[in-house]
Amino acid sequence: MTCRDMFGGRLRRGRVFCGVPLCALLAAVVVAVTSSPTVAAPASRSASGGQPPIVSAPLARRVPGTPGGGSGTAALRQVIPRPVREIVADRTAVSSTWQNANGTITVRRYLAPHFYRSGSGWLPVGPVLAPTSGRPGWWHSEANSYGTVLGPAGAADGAEQLSVDGAQFGFSPLHVSDPSLTPEVSGATAIYHGLWPGVDLDEQVSASGVKEGIVLSGPGAGSSFGFRVLGATARADAAGGLEVLAGGRQVGVIPPLTVTAARAQPGRSAPGDAAADVTAVSGARLSVTGDVVRVSVSPGWLAGLPSWAFPVTIDPTTNPTSNQTQLVSVAKDIHNQDIAIHGTMQNGCHLLR
């Protein structure tokens, strides 16, 4: 059986989708406030070349004075003011304001929360999981705009508990191997090893949501997994995902599932071998019945996969906000016209090419 046969006739390249990711994304929507013509734009390109563009589009309008055939990037760099000091008092969850060397002001806007409110003002988001004092086996997030608590698999209020703008809700995995199982934690990532036979559950906390991965180790693993929703209601949306409602308002979204296999073809080592996006042929389904959310793939498809395709990961990410991330970049030229800029997203920053 060929690689094409295994994955339903064709393989699709890995895709980027909302929420995922999963660090704060710098949108590079910048505004220059000045009495003289000036452009404010993102920081200069990183030296780490070779990154494929996530956002790549031709310029909608060329900056006046840019030589024909050019991308406009060089001309933009020549007029980008140099920021020298952040005006911390003007921070919001998704923006920062900077004083430039030439007297102008630059406002940087972000596509995901970059700061969170505390008693001392807006502080940079830097989500990590820390042990909860007095509660062995429990962990909680720090330096984030929403709260995350992770604990034993069979916890009464859910192994994963979220708090968003005063609303608290949780998810409890059903029919687990060991209800007392606690996660192994490193940084912002928690792993429930063997939550179900042959299956791990990965949880990664970011500024924009909790990225989950149901990791299947082989064809003998289960193909359907249930989670009870506690303190909230889940309902299907038109896009194939779920909305999470609490207190009569929307407090989160679960985007449509993504399924990836570890190998695109046999005989390839993991480094440099992009995971195969097999969502369309896997029969992936995200459904809700009463208070139970179910994540599943086709059992026949799973049983037919070769050993080199594993692990297979099903990603039901939870975003504690209804705002969908858009990977775009916009700046303003001196005539206040929108122009799209070539660029890549790397480590949460927009980099000019």
Could you tell me the pLDDT band of residue 96, with boundaries at 50, 70 and 90?
Answer: very high
| pLDDT tens profile 289-332 | 999 999 999 999 999 999 999 999 999 887 875 333 222 222 22
Could you tell me the pLDDT band of residue 148, with boundaries at 50, 70 and 90?
Answer: very high
Whether pLDDT at 48 is above 60: no
| pLDDT tens profile 270-281 | 444 567 788 989
| pLDDT tens profile 252-262 | 999 999 999 98
Indicate the average pLDDT of the chain.
74
In this structure, the answer to whether residues 337 and 295 fall within a common structural domain is no
Rounded mean pLDDT of 165-181?
Answer: 96
In this structure, the answer to whether residues 286 and 179 fall within a common structural domain is yes
Which residues have CB under 8 Å from 243's CB, separation 6+? 234, 235, 236, 237, 250, 252, 253, 254, 322
Could you tell me the pLDDT band of residue 72, with boundaries at 50, 70 and 90?
Answer: low
In this structure, the answer to whether residues 68 and 178 fall within a common structural domain is no
In this structure, the answer to whether residues 307 and 343 fall within a common structural domain is no
Could you tell me the pLDDT band of residue 61, with boundaries at 50, 70 and 90?
Answer: very low
Q: What's the pLDDT at 315?
A: 93
Is residue 129, in this structure, part of any structural domain at all?
A: no
Q: What's the pLDDT at 129?
A: 95
Q: Which of 24-28, 315-319, 332-336 has the lowest mean pLDDT?
A: 332-336
In this structure, the answer to whether residues 197 and 266 fall within a common structural domain is yes
Residue-number span of the structural domain to which 190 is assigned: 168-315
Q: Is the dihedral of CA 9, 13, 17, 22 positive or negative?
A: positive
Is residue 51, in this structure, part of any structural domain at all?
A: yes
